[in-house]
Structure 1
Amino acid sequence: MNLKDIHIGQSIKARVLELNISSERICKFMHYKYEESEIEEMYNSKSIDSDLLLRWSKLLEYDFFRLYVEHLILYSPKSRNSLVHTSALSTKKSLVFRKNIYTQEIKDFIINKIKTGSMTQSEVTATYNIPKTTVCKWIVKS
């Protein structure tokens, strides 16, 4: 899976094939709002509506939103502290995007890069801004 360039339709189709779910079951779960041809269109779509993605996540028992979070963790620009979204209302707290939450998929992705030789440990720490000690711990545990 390419986390840099996410094609959500391909990811959905891969999960459907993995679980061997029929088109009939998919259409039924979607309350017959979509026909088989529209389902195929979704498989070919690079992106889909978030409400629809939520339905796919429920049907396929997989958090497809996580792909985007993992992309943010790996590829968001480096900042002074963290990415902060300030509210228009000063009474509300700011929402903070934290890059230091690593999923198992992220850890596996990084470890695979190192084990296959496509990146060195130093390149990983420089490219993804992950502390060297953190990467070392992942390697020891793998």
Structure 2
Amino acid sequence: MNLKDIHIGKLIHERVNELQMPVARIEKFMKCSEEEIEGMYEQISIDTFYLLRWSKLLEYNFFRVYSAHLILYAPPANPPKKTDQKENLPVFRKNIYTEEVKSFILEKIASKEMTVNEVILKYRIPKTTLHTWIKKA
């Protein structure tokens, strides 16, 4: 899976094919016509309302694809400034490394495309976490 350039429509279509999901069931659940569904398969991005519906229908969290992209390709975040004001949005304390992200990183190391130190520097993965993945692989 290419985590750098995400084409969510293709990923959804692949999952539909894997599950051999009948079009009639998709139409009923998504409340869309077959033409609209086919159009979604062509889209690079999709409205989050529909992405949530697809995730439920296909029992696959498509949002984690974007989370994996953020872990690998987003610039480091600036540490939040301490304020007395309560935050409205939830604060996530840890990155969630999916199996796809782990496989991607371990493949880079195994193919000697990157060294362990390069991975640590580029993707900001803690040294102990990376060494744990390597031991388990």
Identify whether the pair has TM-score above 0.5, normalized to the shorter chain: yes
Q: Within 5 Å, which residues of 2 pair with 1:53-92?
A: 53-81=51-79, 84=80, 90-92=85-87
Quick check: 1:3–1:67 contact (8 Å CA) kept in 2? yes
Identical-residue share of aligned pairs (%): 55
Specify the SS of the correspondent of 1:138: helix
Give the aligned CA root-mean-square deviation in angstroms.
2.5
Q: TM-score, normalised by structure 1?
A: 0.83
Unaligned runs of 5+ in 1: none
Unaligned runs of 5+ in 2: none
1:76 Cα deviation after fit: 1.4
CA distance in 1, matches of 2:9, 2:89: 33
Distance 1:80 1:86, change over 3 A: closer
Asked which structure has the greater RCO (Cα within 8 Å, sep 6+), the reply is: 2
Q: TM-score, normalised by structure 2?
A: 0.85
Distance 1:97 1:91, change over 3 A: closer
Specify the SS of the correspondent of 1:96: coil
Q: How many residues align?
A: 137
